[in-house]
Structure 1
Amino acid sequence: MICSRKTLKNGLRRTLGGILIGLGWILSPLTWWNDWFINLPLSWLLAGFVARQDQAAFGKYFIFFYWFTNLLGFLLMYLGWRFAFFMKKVSRREIFISFSVSLLYTGVIWILVKFEILKPLF
């Protein structure tokens, strides 16, 4: 069976979109195990790396990276869904807006931590 170039392109787009959806699902807070086995260890490692110079900022970086990984998961799922099923190219503007909103939410959380409105449980 001979496949057309368009069929191969559509199959590749769906495959890549599915991979993005899968990676996003792993990073998103939509599963019970995600935080314990993915986001918290990843956030802990990133915060430890970034806060090597300022140990007092470790908690703030930990919370920042925790929220960032959750938002990144949602963004990857959104982009993967658009890429795989709508067959419409996602514009750079749409990516920029989605990423900016995620960064804005993360910034709000960081501000809440900085003013000690949001504190770690332990």
Structure 2
Amino acid sequence: MTNLPIFRQESSVAGEGTPQQLQSAALGDWKQNTFKKLRGGFFLVLGYLLSPLCWWNDLLFNLPIAYGFGYICSLFYPKLLLPGSIIGYWLSNIIGILLMQFGAMDVLQNQSKERNLKKELLSGVVTSTIYTLVILALVQLKIIDAAVPLLGS
């Protein structure tokens, strides 16, 4: 018989390995989960600040963003300042709700399953649009008063 080379078999089965390899893998998972939670928390807070759920955000965030968007639109055609500002305000609220949704999914989901960005984006736009339509209906039915009282009146 011929001499056959002897190969050393490496263990690649999950759960087998040296304690250092297991500790390194656990540390890597912990770092990844911590980063995911921090990123999700950042998006959640930023989304809350841009969303219509935060009552004081308009003066500090949404109106300057809306005016900037309207101003950029007015550079192309001067009469687009007001419509561009309205669209910019709506977009800032939509982006806020989407950021909250993405952040909440990072913070609240424990398992790392594959995410479908197209489905999540569509879901966020649909829920944001429904929210906007509900608020509009409540204002039109005079259940909510949208008039802002003048200071000093």
* TM-score, L = length of structure 2: 0.60
C-alpha contact (below 8 Å) 1:28/1:70 kept by paired residues? yes
RMSD of the TM alignment (CA)?
2.6
* Alignment correspondent of 1:55: 78
Whole-angstrom CA distance in 1 between matches of 2:114 and 2:106: 7
Which is higher, the Rg of structure 1 or of structure 2? 2
C-alpha contact (below 8 Å) 1:83/1:89 kept by paired residues? no
Of structures 1 and 2, the one scoring higher in RCO (CA 8 A, sep 6+) is 1
Q: Does 1:92 align with 2:117?
A: yes
Q: What are the residue-to-residue correspondences of 1:33-48 with 2, within 5 Å? A: 33-48=56-71
Q: Does 1:9 align with 2:40?
A: no
Q: Which runs of 5+ in 2 are unaligned?
A: 1-23, 134-146, 148-153
Q: Does 1:83 align with 2:106?
A: yes
Q: Once the two structures are superposed, what CA deviation does each residue of 1:57-89 show, in whole Å capped at 9, x if it has no partner?
A: 211111001011001100100011001211344
* TM-score, L = length of structure 1: 0.74
How many correspondences in the alignment?
107
Distance 1:61 1:101, change over 3 A: same
Percent of residue pairs bearing the same amino acid type: 26
Q: Does 1:31 align with 2:54?
A: yes
Whole-angstrom CA distance in 2 between matches of 1:99 and 1:60: 23
Question: How far off is 1:96 after superposition?
Answer: 3.6
Secondary structure of the equivalent of 2:75? Answer: coil
